[in-house]
A and B are shown apart, each in its own frame.
Chain A
Amino acid sequence: MSNAWSIYIIVLAVGNILAMVWLLIITNRDNGVDASDTTGHKWDGIEELNNPLPRWWLGLFIITIIFAGVYLYLYPGLGSYKGSLNWSQMSEYRQARDANEEIQAEFFAEFVSYDIPALAKSERAMATGERLFANNCTTCHGSGGRGAKGFPNLTDNDWLYGNQPETILASIENGRAGVMPNLNLNSATVAVLARYLKHLSGEDGISDHVIDSGPKRFAVCAACHGADGKGNQAIGAPNLTDGIWLHGGRVSDIENVLRHGMQGNMPSFANALNSNEIRLLAAYVISLSSSNMADGSNTADGSNTADGSNTTEDE
């Protein structure tokens, strides 16, 4: 703040307080109630006496003036004068922030030696993971991580990109962009393929015509979804045979995907969260689906085999 502005503020603030003192002095009378001294107001013959301020009121007035003086001495208020306590809102904020970071550092120091599967089994770590997840992830992945249309369920054992610790870390840190292109399919192809996919995922009652002509039409899809339709985790192409649908499982939902293409974007958290937090979240995501990994191990190919189900993960 420039000197001129500083002086301007000091003059106004101090001048204002002095004006109050002056007001008290010039209106001060201790002559008690004087029946002849009236304000000049007269209503129907009733006059208003010009009495001095009640003592208690005067006392309060003086206390506020003293308070103002003490306050302006201790705290910043007079232009660029910083106050004898040297307090500022920002310094208080920084102190609280640093104290908080210390607590965090202490907390995370406990877990430096843990790898992600081990973190996922620590109750203390997961309690914090749950809060981080609630603050950053539930709006998309739903409370409890169960997902919504277009936003994957993280509690099932069905992965778009895989559930190895490194892929989950990468999903959170760098974000993900899964692109199902619009392939400009004609409507007959769309209709057949949508029903063929229902057949692949185990639905009964699909016509022979669809089942016969499906594989031929599916050839263009195989590059991404694999010849068997079981997907490709490297590019986030979902398994189309497991009956779990990211964008809805009705024939009309699938047709919609085929007709227009579809994109799934997960924002990057690299700049919003620090690496400790991201590791904790990756562990929390693993813990969400850990019913299938009772022994805490997830095999190198990303399949969770503890209960023997689900060895082809996708979506």
Chain B
Amino acid sequence: MKHETIEKNAGLMGVLIALVIAVAGMAEIVPLMFQAQTTEPSPGVIPYPAVELAGRDIYVKEGCYNCHSQMIRPFAVERLRYGPPSLAGESVYDRPHQWGSKRTGPDLARVGGRYTDEWHLIHLINPRDLVPESNMPGFPWLQDKEVDGELITTKMKTLKWMGHPYTDEQIEQASDTVHGVTEMEALIAYLQFLGVANNGRSQK
């Protein structure tokens, strides 16, 4: 093929570029979508219950992922600090996952149970009340707003359609479960849920 043919046909060039780029993805990503290791939950991992699911949205909305990762890498030093390495099967109900790569603050993949609810509340209102040297911002406004039950119901239905094993009962009760729950409470419930299936705090 002459240079000219490719260079003068933007469409053809686009297809060829896409093909070249796709090769790596086809080898590295596509097979993962069909491996049990990455598509099936690790033991004890269940879909986020309604309140925790709502809390997860707040985590994303407030941009906590800009400073916190949720991915313990397989290094001995990380185990000492955060617990055993994260497994692919622990992220199957995360859409999208919150792995991240930036650690201004500590990794949160297994933070569930590490602190008490009261601690999280004080910390999220003003981190410096507990950790004077902290540069994490406070999020006091989360106390003022309640979680939207209808939105969570829709969301759970969608996730069920995508394969998350919610029961009809769970979806039916979702709206009642989150009724009157503030964004702060939902976020704390989410944090307390993180990694507990596998962080050594709920099971040996």
Cβ contact within 8 Å between A267 and B115: yes
Q: Which of A9, A40, A150, A272 contacts B27 (CB 8 A)?
A: A9
Q: Interface 1/0s, chain B 73-108, versus A by CB < 8 A?
A: 011100111010100000000000000000000000
Which residues of chain A in 34-82 are interfacial with respect to chain B, using CB atoms and an 8 Å cutoff? Answer: 39-41, 50
Considering the complex, give the chain A residue whose CB is closest to the CB of B127. A139
- Among B75, B130, B199: residue with most chain A CB under 10 A: B130
Chain B: interface size category: 35 or more
Q: Which of B85, B202, B203 contacts A93 (CB 8 A)?
A: B85
> How many Å lie between the Cα of A8 and that of B23 in the bound state?
12
Find chain B residues with CB under 8 A from A92 CB.
74
Q: Which of A97, A142, A149, A272 contacts B201 (CB 8 A)?
A: A272
B145 interface contact, C-beta 8 A? no
Cβ contact within 8 Å between B76 and A9: no
Nearest-CB distance from B109 to chain A (Å)?
A: 14
Q: Which of A5, A39, A90, A100 contacts B76 (CB 8 A)?
A: A100
B11 interface contact, C-beta 8 A? no
A25 interface contact, C-beta 8 A? no
- Among A9, A140, A267: residue with most chain B CB under 10 A: A140
Considering the complex, give the chain B residue whose CB is closest to the CB of A136. B114
Cβ contact within 8 Å between B200 and A272: yes
A1 interface contact, C-beta 8 A? yes
B116 interface contact, C-beta 8 A? yes
B61 interface contact, C-beta 8 A? no
Q: Interface 1/0s, chain B 2-19, versus A by CB < 8 A?
A: 111000000000000000
Considering the complex, give the chain B residue whose CB is closest to the CB of A104. B80
> How many Å lie between the Cα of A226 and that of B131 in the bound state?
34
Find chain A residues with CB under 8 A from B117 CB.
265
Using A12-B23, A13-B27, A271-B201 as known contacts, say yes or no to A139 and B115 having CB atoms under 8 A apart. yes
Using A1-B35, A16-B23, A272-B200 as known contacts, say yes or no to A267 and B74 having CB atoms under 8 A apart. no
Considering the complex, give the chain A residue whose CB is closest to the CB of B8. A40
Q: Which of B4, B81, B113, B131 contacts A139 (CB 8 A)?
A: B131
Nearest-CB distance from B119 to chain A (Å)?
A: 6
Cβ contact within 8 Å between A1 and B31: yes
Cβ contact within 8 Å between B75 and A93: yes
Cβ contact within 8 Å between A90 and B4: no
Using A1-B35, A39-B3 as known contacts, say yes or no to A12 and B26 having CB atoms under 8 A apart. yes
Using A9-B27, A140-B119 as known contacts, say yes or no to A151 and B130 having CB atoms under 8 A apart. yes
Considering the complex, give the chain B residue whose CB is closest to the CB of A262. B118
A86 interface contact, C-beta 8 A? no
Cβ contact within 8 Å between B76 and A93: yes
> How many Å lie between the Cα of A97 and that of B77 in the bound state?
8
Cβ contact within 8 Å between A135 and B81: yes
B129 interface contact, C-beta 8 A? yes
Cβ contact within 8 Å between B76 and A96: yes
A89 interface contact, C-beta 8 A? yes
> How many Å lie between the Cα of A267 and that of B112 in the bound state?
11
Which residues of chain B in 48-86 are interfacial with respect to chain A, using CB atoms and an 8 Å cutoff? Answer: 74-76, 79-81, 83, 85
Find chain A residues with CB under 8 A from B202 CB.
271
Find chain B residues with CB under 8 A from A148 CB.
129-130
Find chain B residues with CB under 8 A from A50 CB.
3
Q: Which of B85, B114, B200, B204 contacts A267 (CB 8 A)?
A: B114
Chain A residues at the B interface, C-beta cutoff of 8 Å:
1, 5, 8-9, 12-13, 16, 39-41, 50, 89-90, 92-93, 96-97, 99-100, 135, 138-140, 142-143, 148-151, 263-268, 271-272
Chain B residues at the A interface, C-beta cutoff of 8 Å:
2-4, 23, 26-27, 31, 34-35, 74-76, 79-81, 83, 85, 113-119, 122-123, 129-133, 199-204
